[in-house]
Chains A and B, each alone.
Chain A
């Protein structure tokens, strides 16, 4: 295969993988900290993206048309608003149900996700139709043989990478991260050690939701389109990626995200007549991996005290 072509496939796969990874990181954080699956995550992504879009429309209306200013403003508002929304969901819906069977929380958050999605569809003006998200990043492209390298794709990828690295640094090198890891490991002991459990949970939810909002805006900038159902598939794929990688482990989530994107790309390329079945292929491989390694590729380390 022509190297330029291969490079193009790899580049496409990397972009997709980055977006899935950001969503998967959210799922994994929530599970790690509270042992719950928050299924409204994908729809929080949608709400965040639409919030960012609304900011863009507002800025256009008041005449602030500098694209860099717009990008920064959109990102700040989207991530900030979703951080708050995530924390609210944690405080009022998830925490009160903490002692309920995990299935209940999954169902409640699934329903919440539907409510969020339908709210966007009904209350955002003309919400049922896809919207054209502006391409705020520079368009310049470099053609290296048959490989078309676009500056905006590079910037988006680097941005996503920066967020992932930032989360990694936060979790592993800061006191806050230490507290999060402590809570994830053992809630009771963490509380005994003086960690403010509720605060840590709220911060974790805020963090995961902000990452999702970032992924959503990235999605909007990359495809130049947003619609009220965008969170659905991203949520399902992000969830699968988190599980395949190993729920509770951030590296697992990232690995899972890139793995899923790779599977989709391979499916679209290698299966000759069945590019329509690439999702079937990708999910089938995920099922096979789960059968082989039920706790995910990077299993959560559990040690038993004898």
Chain B
């Protein structure tokens, strides 16, 4: 009896010891949660899904790295490109203490609505797609950062280039969200400085279907070009209805229409449309080839779209920071504030005192043969093809 009990006790102790050892071995890599928020449904979902896949790629590559200190889990939330939904999901993410940081938002209207939420809960976020300047410059919150550029530079380059191409008389169509209004403000300002004239400004709702009334008026104004400050869904409708009304003016757009969905939605009608975007095209980015290769290997169903590289860079920056200072929101916020000349696939990232990455490069695009082509590489630049009315 005594022997049996002794045997039993030692067996139990052994089992406990093995269990503890196994447990601690499994707990060697602590699980850390990060969040990705973007428009996964709705008119701009291709950009949200591309961003989600890119951020997921960053997490996967990190988890596959044996030198990583933590095991990362990416929580994905859909903001539907609607500010009210965005605030809801932002609250959900920020209130979950297990989530340390997030890569957030493509839609400016959503991003500007959620800054207060992230600040209130102290969740450090890095914006990957929204271009409204006020998101970083409209507040003093230490939590908000952004890797992509703002619409200020975009419109400055746009105004200079468009007037340079000979377009002087403009009509402006912009959506009435903060995004469209921001574009209108900056473009109008810079166009005036470059000698152009705006003869009509039309605000439209972000889900408007029929633009015939506005376009008919624009037709009567005989403009050289129509500037469109808004996103792809209505951009497609405007271009298509321009054609129906026989309007021959040039369409000049913003980063909102630089997406494959714009070209797919219009087919041959997209030919010759101008647009501008912060940063360089993926292939020309320092880490572009690497990103495209890894993305292709991971076999995602959707393409990374225009801002996928920025989402990847944002998430990588977050993961790097967590690796360095640990999974603590305050420490990550402080560390992100000190980011200077950090390498990433989109080039060197430096956050200024408002958390904005000072990205100087603006790329000019023209839609050619069913693809967005960098202006300098296009047949329009060489004169082989002509823009509308030239």
Q: A residues engaging B (CB < 8 A)?
A: 2, 5, 8-9, 12, 15-16, 121, 128-130, 132, 141, 143, 146, 148, 150, 153, 223-225, 227, 229-230, 233, 264-265, 267-269, 273-276, 278-279
B245 within 8 A of A: yes
- Taking CB as reference atom, which chain B residue is nearest A8? B216
Question: Which residues of A have CB within 8 Å of B236?
Answer: 130, 225
- Taking CB as reference atom, which chain A residue is nearest B39? A128
B61 to chain A, nearest CB (A): 28
- Please name the 7 residue pairs, one residue from A and one from B, whose CB atoms are nearest each other, closest first: A268-B213, A276-B203, A148-B246, A12-B212, A128-B41, A275-B202, A276-B176
Question: Which residues of A have CB within 8 Å of B287?
Answer: none
Contact of B216 among A9, A153, A273 (CB under 8 A): A9
Given contacts A130-B233, A276-B203, A276-B205, contact A9 B213 (CB under 8 A): yes
B378 within 8 A of A: no
* CA gap between A276 and B208 in the complex, in Å: 9
- Give chain B's interface residue range (CB within 8 Å of chain A): 20 to 34
B339 within 8 A of A: no
Q: How many A-B residue pairs have CB under 8 A?
A: 83
A8 B41 Cβ-Cβ under 8 A: no
B76 within 8 A of A: no
Question: Which residues of A have CB within 8 Å of B217?
Answer: 268-269
A225 B240 Cβ-Cβ under 8 A: yes
Contact of A275 among B214, B245, B264 (CB under 8 A): B214
Q: What are 15 A-B interface contacts by the 8 Å CB criterion?
A: A2-B220, A129-B43, A132-B265, A132-B267, A141-B246, A148-B246, A225-B265, A229-B207, A233-B207, A268-B213, A268-B214, A269-B216, A274-B203, A275-B202, A276-B176
- Taking CB as reference atom, which chain B residue is nearest A232? B207
Most chain A beta-carbon contacts within 10 A, residue among B202, B214, B245: B245
B219 A8 Cβ-Cβ under 8 A: yes
B246 A276 Cβ-Cβ under 8 A: no
- Taking CB as reference atom, which chain A residue is nearest B265? A132
Question: Which residues of A have CB within 8 Å of B65?
Answer: none
* CA gap between A244 and B3 in the complex, in Å: 96
B216 A275 Cβ-Cβ under 8 A: no
* CA gap between A121 and B241 in the complex, in Å: 25
* CA gap between A224 and B176 in the complex, in Å: 24
Question: Which residues of B have CB within 8 Å of A233?
Answer: 207, 209
Contacts A5-B220, A16-B210, A264-B213 aside, 8 further interface pairs with beta carbons under 8 A come to A2-B220, A5-B216, A130-B43, A153-B244, A223-B209, A227-B233, A275-B214, A276-B176
- Taking CB as reference atom, which chain A residue is nearest B233? A130
B237 within 8 A of A: yes
Given contacts A129-B43, A225-B240, A275-B203, contact A12 B209 (CB under 8 A): no
* CA gap between A15 and B245 in the complex, in Å: 13
Question: Which residues of B have CB within 8 Å of A132?
Answer: 264-265, 267
Question: Which residues of B have CB within 8 Å of A279?
Answer: 205
Question: Which residues of B have CB within 8 Å of A224?
Answer: 240
* CA gap between A233 and B210 in the complex, in Å: 12
A235 to chain B, nearest CB (A): 13
A223 B210 Cβ-Cβ under 8 A: yes
B213 A129 Cβ-Cβ under 8 A: no
Contact of A146 among B207, B220, B240 (CB under 8 A): B220
Given contacts A223-B237, A273-B201, A279-B205, contact A5 B219 (CB under 8 A): yes
A269 B43 Cβ-Cβ under 8 A: no
B194 within 8 A of A: no
Given contacts A130-B236, A275-B204, contact A230 B265 (CB under 8 A): no
* CA gap between A224 and B243 in the complex, in Å: 12
Question: Which residues of A have CB within 8 Å of B265?
Answer: 130, 132, 225
* CA gap between A225 and B212 in the complex, in Å: 15
Question: Which residues of A have CB within 8 Å of B203?
Answer: 273-276
Question: Which residues of B have CB within 8 Å of A229?
Answer: 207
B55 within 8 A of A: no
Q: Provide the B69-91 mask, 1 if CB < 8 A to any CB of A, else 0.
A: 00000000000000000000000
B240 A148 Cβ-Cβ under 8 A: no
Contact of B240 among A141, A153, A223, A276 (CB under 8 A): A223
B147 within 8 A of A: no
Question: Which residues of A have CB within 8 Å of B192?
Answer: none
B45 within 8 A of A: yes
B216 A129 Cβ-Cβ under 8 A: no
Contact of B244 among A16, A130, A148, A265 (CB under 8 A): A148
Question: Which residues of B have CB within 8 Å of A141?
Answer: 246
Question: Which residues of A have CB within 8 Å of B210?
Answer: 12, 16, 223, 264
* CA gap between A148 and B214 in the complex, in Å: 15
* CA gap between A112 and B18 in the complex, in Å: 58
Question: Which residues of A have CB within 8 Å of B176?
Answer: 276
- Taking CB as reference atom, which chain A residue is nearest B210? A16
B41 A121 Cβ-Cβ under 8 A: yes
B214 to chain A, nearest CB (A): 5
